[in-house]
Structure formats: structure tokens, C-alpha cells
Amino acid sequence: MSTSAASQRLTLTDITRLYQSGEKLVMLTCYDASFAALMDAAGIELLLIGDSLGNVIQGEDSTLPVTLKQMAYHTRAVKRGSRRAMIVSDLPFGASQLGAKETFRNAAKLMASGAQVIKLEGGQEMAATTEFLTRRGIPVCGHIGLTPQSVHQLGGFRVQGKTEESAERLLLDARSLADAGACMIVLEAVPAALARRLTREISVPTIGIGAGAGTSGQVLVSYDMLNIHPGKKPRFVKNFMDGAESLQDALAAYAREVKSGAFPAAEHTY
């Protein structure tokens, strides 16, 4: 790609401008340089180096075995392969649970590897850590609802926020993270009505995955929406390879459908 303004890497200022204009934000998981280049060309604005690589790259049953060293490796690869998309990287299990100072040290390693934003799983309990990081120059993306690193505590991969009590807890989680300085919040496996309310009540973008069309943007695991990863897919996944002539076409279709609001449709929503 050229070095024109169109190819300069997106910043938080750019993402905030898109959000404030009402334009939907487009995010996908990405794990290597080749896919990063394809996603860049398709107009994907946010590349998430997700610890989902434990499932789709390593063949693990959960994200828990993924290490910080592995996340740094994949972050460097995605950074090298892309030119325009913003780079968001997951802190893996065990890298953010020992206190704010230890989390900062681990987050700094991912920032040095090319991340622009660090994603942390957890709600109110991560607010103090979020504030600690943001006050020291590390942008934070929160992640609430179904948090895969807590899968055993949650009793499996289940929709969150279905009861009045759990819905109120998620509202408090979102407010706490936004007040602590999170620049965006991923909402995973949350009823659409609740996700819409959360999005209205906080002043930062929400990125939905199984959270309906009322969020500020959408994210999917790329190996799911491209039908690469075998096995049964979650309800919120659409196979964008169906009818596409190439990976590039499928990625571009995803970006278009998120921007237009066509995805997610009712069949992808709880």
C-alpha cells in the first residue's frame, strides 16, 4: 500500500470520530501477517489479536493455555502485515489477574510488540486496573458478558445478562469500565435489548459479538466467519464464505454488512 493519508494507521482519534459520527466499527480477529494484509485491503478497521488463537490455531479446548509470549509473537506478525487497521491485543489468562502493576508490565510487552490497545476481560473488578493502565498511556478495551477466560467459573459458554440481577451487574460493569477510562468495550453473548441499553448508557464504543445490532460495532472470530475452524459455530456466527468467490470477497462482505447494519440479523441474535 502507498504512504498516502488513506493508508496511515488508524488511531483512537480516528475510531472516536467514526463512533461519534454514528458509523459502525468493523473488527475481526487476526493472527498472522497474510490475513492482516487481506483484512486491511477489505476495510477492516480493528484487528484483534485474540487469545481465541488457542482454539483456532493451537487446537486447544479453551483460551486458557495461551501465553503472553505467544500473544506478543502474533501481535508482531499482524502489525507487520497491516498498514491501516488499528491493532488490539488480548492479555491472556494469568496476565491481568495479579494486580495493576503486574498487568501494566505485561501490557507494556504487547504494546512494544505493536499493539495500540490492550483488551482485558472482566467488569467492575478490572476498573482499578483499567484506570491504572490508562493513566500511564496504555489504552484499554474492556470485555464483559461471556468472558472466555472465566469459562469454568461461568459454567460453560452461556449467554450472560438474561436475569434482572445479571443484567444490572453487566450495566455496572460497563459503567465502571467506561468511568475508569476504557476506550471501548466488547460485549459478548448478551441479549440484544441489554446490549442496546448498555450502548446508550455509556460514552465509549461497544463492540458486539453475539450482542445484536444495537452496538457501536461488531467483531467475530475470523476462522468462524470464514468457515475455516471445524465444528459447530455459535448462533451469532454467519458464514461469509457462503457464496463468496474468495477470502477477500468474504471479508469485504462482512465489512459492508456491519457498516450497513445488515449483520447481525435476527437469526444471529439472542
Closest-CA residue to 187 (of 163, 154, 214, 152): 214
Q: Which residues are catalytic?
A: 188
Q: Rounded to whole angstroms, how far apart are CA atoms 35 and 31? A: 7
- 64-123 pLDDT per residue, tens: 999 999 999 999 999 999 999 999 999 999 999 889 999 999 999 999 999 999 999 999
Question: Residue 229: its pLDDT value, please?
Answer: 93
- 7-64 pLDDT per residue, tens: 699 999 999 999 999 999 999 999 999 999 999 999 999 999 999 999 999 999 999 9
Confidence of residue 157 (pLDDT cuts 50, 70, 90): low
pTM above 0.75, yes or no: yes
130 neighbors 173 (Cβ within 8 angstroms): no
**pLDDT > 70? residue 5:** no
213 neighbors 191 (Cβ within 8 angstroms): no
**pLDDT > 70? residue 153:** no
Closest-CA residue to 83 (of 114, 52, 112): 114
Q: Rounded to whole angstroms, how far apart are CA atoms 29 and 44? A: 10
Q: At what angle do helices 33-42 and 247-260 cross, to 10 degrees?
A: 50
Residue 259: CB atoms within 10 A of its CB come to 17
**pLDDT > 90? residue 134:** yes
**pLDDT > 80? residue 158:** no
Terminal Cα-to-Cα distance of the chain (whole angstroms)? 39
Instruction: Provide the grid cell at 17.
Output: 470520530
- 210-247 pLDDT per residue, tens: 999 999 999 999 999 999 999 889 999 999 999 999 99
Q: Rounded to whole angstroms, how far apart are CA atoms 173 and 177? A: 6
Q: Report the DSSP beta bridge partners of residue 145.
A: 188
Confidence of residue 151 (pLDDT cuts 50, 70, 90): low
- 177-220 pLDDT per residue, tens: 999 999 999 999 999 999 999 999 999 999 999 999 999 999 99
State CA 111 to chain mean position distance. Answer: 16
Start-end of H helices in the chain: 12-20, 33-42, 53-56, 68-81, 100-112, 127-134, 151-154, 164-179, 192-201, 222-225, 247-260
* All domains in the chain, ordered by first residue: 5-268 (3.20.20.60)
Closest-CA residue to 256 (of 84, 22, 19, 42): 42
DSSP assignment of 122-147 equals BSGGGHHHHHHHHTTT--EEEEEES-
Confidence of residue 155 (pLDDT cuts 50, 70, 90): low
**pLDDT > 80? residue 126:** yes
